[in-house]
Structure 1
Amino acid sequence: MENAAIISLEARMELIKLRMVYLLSGLAGGLFNPYLTTLFVHQGVGAEVVGALMSIGTLLSILVQPVWGMLVDRYRQTKLVLILSISVPACLSFFYSFKYFLVIVMVYILSIVFQATQSPIADSYAVSAARKARTSYGSIRMMGSLGTALGGYAAGFYLSKFGITQLWMPFLVLSLAGAVTVLSLPRTTENNATTISLSQGLKELLGNRLFVMFLVACFFVNQTLTAYNSFFVLAFQDAGGSYSMVGTALLLASLTNIPSMLLAAKILRRIGYERTLLLAAFFYALRWAIQWLFPIPVVMIGIQVLHGLSFGLFYVAAVEYVANAAGKKMQATGQSVFNMVFSGLGGIVGNLLNGYLYSTGGPQVMYLACTVSALIGAGMLYWINRIARVSPNL
């Protein structure tokens, strides 16, 4: 909790502005991103082509994230890159309203190049600002979850009155409002270009044995999240649930991130990074195990309260862990490498694996495999916790 008697006015204002950035970005993304595939199909792009395009986009985001991160760490242009990552995809979204396949593909690819860096760069900025203001990263990041929940809910009302090809308009307005807010942030966290070699810095980061093990554990844990992001609606319908009930479940899941991210700082201070990650990984496994054992719509809705305790808690703890491991000069690079594994590789492998398991064995086989994968990740995190306690400098 911020201490107004000690924290400078500049630090407090930076905190407020960053929370607004996350809220506006969350509103924009929650309103637009879930309907992007539907928009592509509406514009005449085949469903199979959309799937391939999304996979290419995910792969591209993996490749460009560490490049952006290293450029930011080298030239200290955090604010400029963050503005570009928000405003460029927003401005390009207008061209999705044209029914030209080549235009849609080019706009999507270019948007990915810029948008891929938004989350890791914003996170590196937020971690720095939170420490200056003596508060938690989670108290900033939770505004993004709130925005995503509200944006997704508002999109339904918007689309009931306007066509899906007009969805770019509120997305553009909200995104540009976020970019303007970033523009007002101070440059106090940006110093002169660092003298450290980019290859040397990345080599040092990946030379940390515990950090690499942490990345592998994150992969095993988060690849299971595609069972929710990509296949929950299908699994819920297979269990007899309706579309209206699906909306309730998705809203509940998004909202549970807010208290989890607010409480994350207290949990991290009490039990540390490694144990918090282990606890969240356990909630991942518990979440999938219950859906494996009890494929009942009411249970599947209620179990979404674990979304915050699994994803929300894990993500905040992981970002803080990376910030601590990367050090001041490699913040953006560290967060980019983490996102590359956590969201990028985890998303690609998770979608392929869980899609195969769902099609061949049904949702119960998928949820069983996710339980096992989360437990493997938890086991690795337990080992990391033991090593860290014995040799904290590794």
Structure 2
Amino acid sequence: MNQVPSVEREPAAVELRRVKIVFAALYFFFMLARAVFGPFITLYLEEKGLSPEQIGLITGINSFIIIISQPVWGIVADRIRSTKKTLILCMICQAVFALSLLFANEIFLIAIAFMIYTSFSSSEGPLMDTWALTSLKNAGDPNGMGRVKMWGCIGFSVSSVVSGVFISRYSTGAIIPI
């Protein structure tokens, strides 16, 4: 019999557990942050004084930006051979442009800020999925993504409720720095 002693299998199991915990926490906090602002974008635009037509125009343009930006950031990740570095770059730039929304008060500036914000934020999910899938595969569990992503759903649901309460007391603009 060619049985591998449990001592040799244990480091692989420990590594797999570590990878699952790291990505479960990453998804939890990532989606927690996403739910702070994402579902309330139209309310934010309404608070900024935009008409329903202007809000529709901005969200429509952003849908087009999503279609274009995801493959672009995928190509960037392939070129620099690092999904993780590309994801970090997108997260930093997205945070900077989210803060710029506080200072944009005219429709043109708001639209530009949202387009740039969306070009970075829309690619974060697919980049994180690629990084997590690759890491899980390398750790020996290519099918473990479901439980990891479940933590993102929990983070999103918790944050949506808390953000909704916060927004009802203050405003959507108050949550952008969060």
Normalised by the shorter chain, which TM-score bucket?
0.7 to 0.9
1:111 is aligned to 2:111: no
Corresponding residue of 2:24: 19
Among 45, 49, 57, the alignment partner of 2:54 is 49
Instruction: Please list the CA deviations of residues 231-255 of structure 1 after superposition, one character each: whole Å capped at 9, or x if unmatched.
Output: xxxxxxxxxxxxxxxxxxxxxxxxx
Give the residue type in structure 2 aligned to 1:18. Answer: F
Partner of 2:10: 5
Tell me: higher relative CO, structure 1 or 2? Use CA pairs within 8 A at least 6 residues apart.
2
Q: What are the residue-to-residue correspondences of 1:1-394 with 2, within 5 Å?
A: 5-7=10-12, 9-98=14-103, 99-135=105-141, 136-170=144-178
Q: Once superposed, which parts of structure 1, at least 4 consecutive aligned residues long, lie more than 4 Å away?
A: 8-11
User: SS of the counterpart of 1:160?
Assistant: helix
Instruction: Give per-residue Cα distances to partners, 1:305-336, cap 9 Å, x unaligned.
Output: xxxxxxxxxxxxxxxxxxxxxxxxxxxxxxxx
Deviation of the 1:32 alpha carbon: 0.9
Q: Which amino acid aligns with 2:160?
A: G
Aligned residue-pair number: 167
Match for residue 175 of structure 1? none
Unpaired segments of 5 or more residues in structure 1? 171-394
Contact in 2 for aligned 1:15/1:133 (Cα 8 Å): no
- CA–CA separation in structure 2 for the residues paired with 1:118 and 1:112: 10
TM-score norm. by structure 1 comes to 0.40
Question: C-alpha distance in 2, partners of 1:19/1:101?
Answer: 38
Provide the rounded CA distance (Å) in 2 between the counterparts of 1:81 and 1:8: 28
Q: Is the CA contact 1:23–1:143 (under 8 Å) kept in the aligned structure 2?
A: yes
2:59 and 2:115 map into 1 onto residues whose CA distance is 10
Distance 2:76 2:96 in 1: 23
Choose 1 or 2 for highest CA Rg.
1
Q: What percentage of residue pairs aligned between the two structures are identical?
A: 25
* Structure 2 Cα separation of the partners of residues 164 and 120 of structure 1: 26
TM, length-normalised to structure 2: 0.84
Give the aligned CA root-mean-square deviation in angstroms: 1.9
Alpha-carbon offset, residue 47 of structure 1: 1.1
In structure 2, distance between residues paired with 1:123 and 1:165? 29
Cα distance in 2 for residues equivalent to 1:133 and 1:80: 20
Structure 2 runs not aligned, ≥5 long? 1-8
